[in-house]
Structure 1
Amino acid sequence: MPDTLHDLTDALLDAARRAGADAADALAVRGASLSIDVRAGTLEQAERSEGVDIGLRVLIGQRQANVSASDTRSETLTALAERAVAMAREAPEDPDIGLAAAEQLAKGWDIDALELSDPAPEPSPAELQRDAEEAEAAALAVKGVSQVQAASAAYSHRQIHMAASNGFSGGYARTDRGLSCVAIAGTGAGMERDHDGDSRIFGADLRSAREIGQRAGERAAERLDARKPPTGAYPVLFDERVSSSLIGHLLAAANGLSIARGSSWLLGKLGEQVLPPELSITEDPHRTRVAASRPFDAEGLPTRARRIVEDGILTGWTLDLATARKLGMTSTGNAKRGTSSPPSPGVWNTALTQGAASRDDLIAQMGTGLLVTSMIGATINPNTGDYSRGASGFWVEKGEISHPVNECTIAGSLPEMLRRIIPANDARTHLSRVVPSLLVEGMTLAGN
């Protein structure tokens, strides 16, 4: 077995060349994770996992195949490469696949500047259990909370290395520390559930266990005695907890894979207005201590900041090498991949322009309507953008929150909704997708 991930990816490439591949790239991931679940003040479950996963993509002419394994013995690497080459020879030709040219590759990055790995020691199981117990106790202390469904604390550390036959070689380490709590308020048929949680790269940045548990309990208690809202056309305010899903639908529609397949409601909209003129969506893969930051993408290309939407105008697609070639464009450095699949395009850190008004200001502005704090299911027509989702939250009457609501459906045309969104100023800036609460006028509600 090779000693390091760098050695492991080099060994995979050597095995691919010996097996007859024209070109190849390899990915190796070594990870360890620990999770603790607490219930009723006692340890309910503790899990720890460690291992190495490897992935190899081989190319023979314009044919490719991808294989993966968790066994890193030398004989396994040889067998893996031979299997991949045999699969590639039977694969259909794709004129758009291929590695990056040497001059396209990232060079001279500073991985430490991104602060993707916490140098602090790994937390002990006892420390994680204390966090979970404290969160649970804080939730149970909230008036109206009858039980805590789950309080969980987790930590993971991963090392990742990529290498390709075009000369690229690079890697980085990632840590994650998380804490979550799910509280239940009320009893019997009147029970309501809600949650809170936090996940950070650096443990020191994590919100306190007491705050997370208390907020989970308060959210659950606030939902008691919910009822259906009236049916009709009303303004809908998407709380910051759920508003990023709207922007996520736009980003998915701007993905080069959807465009190349012709299955996007943004098809033919490049250079057209998709948001209000004062709003932009910025992608920045170089933010420090943010989960989706990367110095290079999964094809070894340098990542860079860009405007996906600028002053309301759609400026470009999210592209990897293959989709860029298919569309006659240039990769935006947005290739992502796992060990078991070839690269495909995906976004890094994104942020929507924040507004000047607070969430409370928008509640007052909307008059009578729905504040959505939770959504279930999703019916989004990828070709037309027709939108329908189950929702719950709070009814707003005369600019003030009146009572909790549930069991309703909100619907509209996503392209029209996005062109008239009004943002608040309450986005959490440490997230990889920074989106404030969003007010949308004139949506259709189906309730009573």
Structure 2
Amino acid sequence: MQDTSKALPGFSYSRAFFEELVDTAMAHAKKLGASDVGAEASEGSGLSVSVRKGELETVERNRDKSLGVTVYLGQRRGNASTSDFSRAAIEQTVQAAYDIARFTAEDPVAGLPDEADIARPAEQRDLDLFHPWPITSAQAAEMALACEAAAFGVDKRITNSEGAGVSAQQSHFFSAHSHGFRGGYASSRHSLSVAPIAGKGSGMQRDHWYSSERNACDLAAPEAVGRYAAERALSRLKSRKVATRECPVLFESPLAAGLLGGFVQAVSGGALYRKTSFLADSLGKNVFPEHIDVVEDPFVAGGKGSSPFDEEGVRVKARKVVDGGQVEGYFLSTYSARKLGMKTTGNAGGSHNLTLSSRLTRAGDDLDEMLRKLGTGLFVIELMGQGVNYVTGDYSRGASGFWVENGRIAFPVQEITIAGNLRQMLAGIQAVGADAYTHGAKTVGSVLVDRMTLAGN
């Protein structure tokens, strides 16, 4: 049954083999009496290497494979999976999913996506997501060591390191279900990171930086990553607390992506139909100021959030999620859409490439200009803890960064807490910088929020 003759580089199984595997599982489910069925076969492989203080620490290779089967008996659903691709194991897995469905309570909205929503093969674009990286463990170690050495070479005050690492990961899958969907693709994700420590004793400060891309050719140079991480750590030396007060807060661009993520979670189907969101019933309402737009684009070539269809095989599309501050769309799977009496938005599995922008942003609005707009207040470069209540929107997190006076950094700060409410924070965005940074599948510049509570001394 196995056919590896056409397997992609670094994989053991071909697309043709996965198609046969999925079709075998679906046919057996139908034979048992399933009203509908879906199946997905996948394989992943990778290399991860870490070093610390000039010495090799770990070399890890991962390889995994899986066949998942979902069986429907009317509106009862069962799911099972296996890593054994033998015919007997496939039939046992299908039987297990079938048996689970038999004894599961009926769910009025359970079921496969509507056929009209399915992404047909002709609609499935090649989005340039697969770039295998044939790096050896020795080459990866050399790269990580160069990154860490560059960090140590910046200044004698870089006294220690939590290590540097290189990771090369790739995977592919094929999925199909009985409402007519058939599709799959290969993808890759590679990264380089380092975490240097500056200073000594109780005055030590740590920071980190990384580069992550689908194509290893696009990774930042190891030396550049190391130097920048060291400069960040050094900038935090002699940090102190500040007095408790209310003040404007500027979020560094990688952290600003977290604010966008908070909005996405609050307008996603699960939170909405469970009524655990502070943005319930926000469709058509202003959540952001009028100068803010949020765009979703699943079709960015090489994008980390790009996909020709969602996890259910539903058609995806580029759209404006927020237009002039107003919420124009939620993030819904088939199930959550049915629970809400709405249509799927092609977001089973989450959002695609998101960009938050301001109509007020100008080309010269770099970080220095954003600090000038902040005036006197807090510039945050690190957040700690998970202090966000998505039911109420209450927000409270540990923070580190810099106190800014008259538009210029005065001194580094640590051991403080910033608090507010996400609804007021989103509505209080005064400016978005031109220093756009892509963190995962979210792109946003630094974000200036008009007022938060800073708890310090």
Deviation, structure 1 residue 264: 0.7
Deviation, structure 1 residue 324: 1.1
Whether contact under 8 Å (1:269, 1:314) holds in the other structure is yes
The aligned residue for residue 227 of structure 1 is: 240
Q: Number of residues paired by the alignment? A: 438
Deviation, structure 1 residue 378: 2.2
Q: SS where residue 280 of structure 1 aligns? A: strand
Distance in 2, Cα, partners of 1:41 & 1:7: 48
Residue 140 of structure 2 is aligned to residue 140 of structure 1: no
Structure 1 unaligned spans of 5+: 337-345
1:55 to 58, 61, 68: 68
Output one character per residue of 1:226-270: Cα deviation in whole Å (capped at 9) or x when no partner. Answer: 111221001110001211111111110000111111111111221
Deviation, structure 1 residue 20: 2.7
Change in Cα spacing, 1:255 to 1:430, as seen in structure 2 (3 Å) is closer
Mean Cα deviation higher: 136-145 or 376-385: 376-385
Output one character per residue of 1:263-289: Cα deviation in whole Å (capped at 9) or x when no partner. Answer: 111112211101111111100000011
Distance in 2, Cα, partners of 1:109 & 1:237: 45
Deviation, structure 1 residue 110: 6.7
Change in Cα spacing, 1:149 to 1:109, as seen in structure 2 (3 Å) is farther
Deviation, structure 1 residue 14: 1.9
1:125 to 126, 137, 147: 137
Mean Cα deviation higher: 13-22 or 420-429: 13-22
Whether contact under 8 Å (2:433, 2:446) holds in the other structure is yes
Deviation, structure 1 residue 113: 3.6
Deviation, structure 1 residue 174: 0.4
Whether contact under 8 Å (1:319, 1:333) holds in the other structure is yes
Distance in 1, Cα, partners of 2:53 & 2:292: 47
The aligned residue for residue 349 of structure 1 is: 353
The aligned amino acid for 1:428 is Y
The aligned amino acid for 1:128 is A
Output one character per residue of 1:344-395: Cα deviation in whole Å (capped at 9) or x when no partner. Answer: xx21110001422222112112221110000001222222211111100111
2:387 to 379, 391, 396: 379
Whether contact under 8 Å (1:275, 1:313) holds in the other structure is yes
Q: SS where residue 273 of structure 1 aligns? A: coil
Q: SS where residue 35 of structure 1 aligns? A: strand
Distance in 2, Cα, partners of 1:275 & 1:266: 12
Distance in 2, Cα, partners of 1:19 & 1:220: 61
The aligned residue for residue 443 of structure 2 is: 434
The aligned amino acid for 1:436 is G
Q: SS where residue 276 of structure 1 aligns? A: coil
Distance in 2, Cα, partners of 1:393 & 1:264: 29
Q: SS where residue 237 of structure 1 aligns? A: strand
Q: SS where residue 445 of structure 2 aligns? A: coil
Deviation, structure 1 residue 112: 6.3
With the length of structure 1 as denominator, give the TM-score of the two structures: 0.95
Residue 88 of structure 2 is aligned to residue 87 of structure 1: no
Q: SS where residue 404 of structure 1 aligns? A: strand
Output one character per residue of 1:13-37: Cα deviation in whole Å (capped at 9) or x when no partner. Answer: 1232233321111111111110111
Residue 222 of structure 2 is aligned to residue 185 of structure 1: no
Residue 84 of structure 2 is aligned to residue 71 of structure 1: yes
The aligned residue for residue 342 of structure 1 is: none
Q: SS where residue 331 of structure 2 aligns? A: coil
Distance in 1, Cα, partners of 2:241 & 2:405: 14
Deviation, structure 1 residue 108: 3.7
The aligned residue for residue 316 of structure 1 is: 329
The aligned residue for residue 178 of structure 2 is: 165
Distance in 2, Cα, partners of 1:350 & 1:367: 29
The aligned amino acid for 1:353 is S
The aligned amino acid for 2:353 is N
The aligned residue for residue 34 of structure 1 is: 47
The aligned residue for residue 107 of structure 1 is: 120
Distance in 1, Cα, partners of 2:109 & 2:356: 32
The aligned residue for residue 7 of structure 1 is: 20
**Two-structure CA RMSD over aligned residues (Å):** 1.5
The aligned residue for residue 8 of structure 2 is: none
Deviation, structure 1 residue 330: 0.9
Distance in 2, Cα, partners of 1:222 & 1:273: 38
The aligned residue for residue 342 of structure 2 is: 329
The aligned amino acid for 1:413 is N
1:295 to 308, 326, 332: 308
Q: SS where residue 148 of structure 1 aligns? A: strand
Mean Cα deviation higher: 183-192 or 427-436: 427-436
Residue 371 of structure 2 is aligned to residue 363 of structure 1: yes
Distance in 1, Cα, partners of 2:151 & 2:170: 29
The aligned amino acid for 1:383 is V
**TM alignment of 1:229-268, pairs within 5 A:** 229-268=242-281
Change in Cα spacing, 1:407 to 1:430, as seen in structure 2 (3 Å) is closer
With the length of structure 2 as denominator, give the TM-score of the two structures: 0.93
Q: SS where residue 353 of structure 1 aligns? A: strand
Q: SS where residue 288 of structure 2 aligns? A: coil
Structure 2 unaligned spans of 5+: 4-16
Deviation, structure 1 residue 109: 4.5
Distance in 2, Cα, partners of 1:109 & 1:360: 47
The aligned amino acid for 2:288 is L
Distance in 2, Cα, partners of 1:184 & 1:417: 32
Output one character per residue of 1:400-443: Cα deviation in whole Å (capped at 9) or x when no partner. Answer: 10111111000112111111212111112585200110011221
Distance in 2, Cα, partners of 1:166 & 1:28: 18
Distance in 2, Cα, partners of 1:362 & 1:230: 23
Distance in 2, Cα, partners of 1:206 & 1:110: 30
